[in-house]
């Protein structure tokens, strides 16, 4: 799997479109780096660029963008609402896929070294890349801003990590490091800068100081006024949205604003946002308002509406949610037509094979169960069944999505094993490395259909409820769905069984074999239970 790192550099220029475009073009010209978003702000005079790539390409793209920024931005003439200390103000590297925080730390150090040595700009490390506690936080490094660097940089405790220990008027200084995914988030107020800042002080982790901390952890914030929009904003950085979720911040700002008799008029996300953060907010509003929404796109739309994310500029999910933005050039099996998929199964190749087919059959089975649930839910004659169906339908939808994803996962696991088998084996070291890779590949090729079984196993209870509650006229659909689910279990089980003998880890073999057979036998019993129940039904409940 390809390693993907995100870089989100902030440049101290948000008004000159030619400069912004020149920096963007510098990123575009780096092979294997993909520019995802450019978000300029006139009042802040700052632009946030977002791009992704492999570790090597991301460092090169960050360096080329920074080089262009130092060339075109003159900090002696800069002014803006946002705190800043350099033309290229902060350059964070963020793990996105198949990459560790340590690898991102190394990316930041490579970038810092090149900027310091080749371009002669002072560079400070922060967050995970910085070992000294007193200079881990960006706010501490940037304290005094650009105007204070001249005096600060000469102090021993503030010697840059890379580059010259001297003030460079045109470029200022740059901060770089590695961190968790940060969300830059602003809540709009029809109020004053002072009111916005007062709310920020109430909420941010730092609060008003050690004696009066704020209510929300892993949150930074200030208040400002944007002339271009004629409104104030509580401007915040969510350092860890899993600690303090996006919706929590919005609701807390609303609460404080109400106490000040100030109107909240939506909010905005600056740059990109992880899909997980949006779905967490969706789950909050779905529970709060007792809604039944299972479709991902509908959940995203709910959050956009409830949090007013399009109040300043349109929030287009395809352009703002990072998972929707990252291009995946692989051709996924589930994106093929039915005819193409069947032809691929029938071709003279070992994959896609029984594991992928089993997962697809299971997805179709749970899909039929969900369909019958939806056909029953919300109809006046079945209104008394709405409450239990609100539990059943999401469970079946979740299983359907997971089984659909397993279609490609099974083929990928097989291909990884084949790749391991193709490793060189001339020397003893090569033989050992090949054997280790093959054993790991076998385990994964076993675990993927085993997980397919686990997903299918969890689907039996909601499938049984659909058989009991679903409209009587759709009982044949439930029967087909249940049989498909049992077939998926059988297919996945046989794929587990065929791989296990080659796995040398005895404990792994025995545990997986026992659990897999138990799930299949239970599945047979569940199928009979559903068939008997449907035979006994004489009409709608």
Q: For residue 475, is it within any domain?
A: yes
Based on the fold, state whether residues 250 and 304 are members of the same structural domain: yes
- Rounded CA Rg of the chain: 28
Confidence category of residue 327, pLDDT binned at 50, 70, 90: low
pLDDT tens figures, 421-454: 888 888 988 888 888 888 988 898 899 999 999 9
Catalytic-residue membership of 82: yes
Give the model confidence (pLDDT) of 56-100 as tens digits.
Answer: 999 999 999 999 999 999 999 999 889 999 999 999 999 987 789
Q: What is the CATH number of the domain that holds 317?
A: 3.30.70.670
Judge if 485 and 498 occupy the same domain: yes
The lowest-confidence range among 90-94, 119-123, 268-272 is 268-272
Number of domains composing the chain: 3
Q: How many CB atoms lie within 10 A of CB 327?
A: 8
The answer as to whether 541 is a domain residue is: no
Question: Are residues 148 and 56 located together in one domain of the fold?
Answer: yes
Per-residue pLDDT at 272 exceeds 60: yes
Q: How far is CA 304 from CA 135, 269, 301, 344, in A?
A: 36, 10, 5, 39
| 8-state DSSP, 425 | -
> What is the span of the domain harbouring residue 45?
4-178
- Whether residue 10 lies inside any domain: the answer is yes
465 Cβ contact partners less than 8 Å away, ≥ 6 residues apart: 388, 391, 392
**Which of 409, 445, 447, 402 lies closest to 332, judged by CA?**
409
Rounded distance between C-alpha atoms, residue 391 and residue 484, angstroms = 22
The pLDDT score that the predictor gives to residue 541 is 64
197 has catalytic annotation: no
CA separation, residue 403 to residues 321, 450, 519 (Å): 24, 12, 16
Render pLDDT for 161-172 as a digit per residue (tens, 0 to 9): 999 999 999 999
CATH number at residue 453: 1.20.120.680
Determine the number of helices (DSSP H) and then strands (DSSP E) in the chain.
18, 11
**Are 157 and 219 part of one and the same domain?**
no
Distance CA 466, CA 373 (A): 6
Please indicate, yes or no, whether residues 309 and 365 belong to a single structural domain of this protein.
no
Q: Report pTM.
A: 0.72
What's the rounded Cα separation, in Å, for the pair 129 and 127?
Answer: 6
Task: Tell me, yes or no, whether 392 and 514 share the same domain.
Answer: yes
The reply to whether 366 and 507 lie within a common domain is yes
Which of 56, 74, 78, 82 is the catalytic position?
82
- 351 and 465 part of one domain: yes
Q: Residues 10-53: pLDDT tens digits?
A: 999 999 999 999 999 999 999 989 998 899 988 899 999 999 99
- Residue 112: per-residue pLDDT: 97
Q: Which residue among the candidates 39, 239, 408, 410 is catalytic per the annotation?
A: 410
């Amino acid at each position: 799997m390809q390693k993907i790192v995100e870089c989100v550099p902030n440049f101290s220029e948000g008004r000159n479109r030619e400069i912004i475009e020149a920096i963007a073009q510098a990123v575009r010209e780096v092979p294997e780096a993909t520019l995802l978003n450019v978000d300029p702000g006139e009042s802040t005079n700052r632009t946030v660029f977002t791009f992704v790539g492999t570790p090597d390409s991301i460092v090169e793209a960050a360096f080329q963008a920074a080089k262009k920024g130092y060339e075109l931005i003159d900090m002696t003439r800069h002014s803006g609402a946002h705190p800043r200390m350099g033309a290229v103000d902060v350059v964070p590297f963020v793990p996105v896929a198949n990459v560790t925080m340590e690898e991102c730390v190394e990316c930041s150090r490579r970038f810092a070294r090149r900027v310091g040595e080749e371009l002669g700009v002072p560079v400070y490390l922060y967050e995970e890349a910085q070992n000294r506690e007193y200079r881990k936080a960006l706010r501490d490094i940037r304290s005094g801003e650009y105007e204070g660097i001249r005096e600060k940089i000469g102090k021993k405790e503030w010697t840059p990590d890379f580059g010259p220990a001297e003030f460079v008027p045109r470029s200022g200084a740059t901060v770089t490091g590695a961190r968790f995914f940060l969300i830059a988030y602003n809540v709009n107020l029809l109020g004053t800068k002072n009111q916005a800042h007062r709310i920020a002080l109430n909420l941010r982790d730092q609060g008003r100081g050690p004696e009066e901390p704020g209510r929300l952890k892993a949150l930074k914030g200030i208040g400002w006024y944007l002339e271009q929009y004629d409104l104030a904003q509580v401007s915040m950085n969510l350092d860890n949205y899993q600690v303090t979720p996006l919706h929590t911040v919005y609701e807390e700002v609303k609460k404080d604003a109400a106490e000040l008799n100030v109107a909240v008029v939506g909010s905005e996300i600056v740059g990109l946002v992880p899909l997980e953060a949006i779905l967490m907010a969706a789950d909050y509003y779905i529970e709060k308002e007792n809604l039944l929404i299972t479709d991902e796109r509908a959940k995203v739309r709910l959050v956009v509406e409830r949090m007013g994310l399009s109040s300043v500029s349109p929030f287009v999910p395809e352009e703002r949610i990072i998972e929707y933005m990252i291009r995946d050039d692989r051709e996924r099996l589930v994106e093929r037509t039915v005819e193409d998929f069947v032809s691929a199964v029938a071709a003279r190749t070992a994959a896609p094979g029984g594991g992928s087919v089993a997962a697809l059959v299971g997805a179709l089975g749970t899909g039929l169960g969900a369909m019958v649930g939806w056909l029953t839910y919300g109809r006046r004659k079945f209104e008394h069944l709405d409450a239990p169906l609100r539990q059943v339908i999401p469970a079946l939808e979740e299983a359907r999505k997971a089984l659909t994803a397993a279609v490609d996962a099974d083929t990928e696991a097989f291909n990884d094993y084949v790749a391991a088998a193709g490793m060189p084996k001339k020397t003893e070291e090569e033989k050992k490395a090949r054997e280790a890779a093959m054993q790991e590949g076998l385990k994964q090729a076993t675990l993927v259909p085993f997980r397919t079984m686990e997903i299918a196993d969890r689907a039996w209870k909601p499938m049984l409820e659909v058989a009991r509650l679903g409209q009587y006229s759709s009982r044949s659909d439930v029967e087909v769905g249940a049989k498909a689910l049992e077939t998926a279990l059988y297919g996945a089980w046989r794929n587990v069984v065929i791989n296990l003998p080659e796995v040398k880890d005895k404990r792994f073999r025995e545990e997986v074999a026992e659990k897999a057979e138990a799930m299949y036998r239970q599945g047979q019993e569940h199928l009979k239970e559903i068939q008997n129940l449907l035979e006994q039904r004489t009409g709608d409940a």
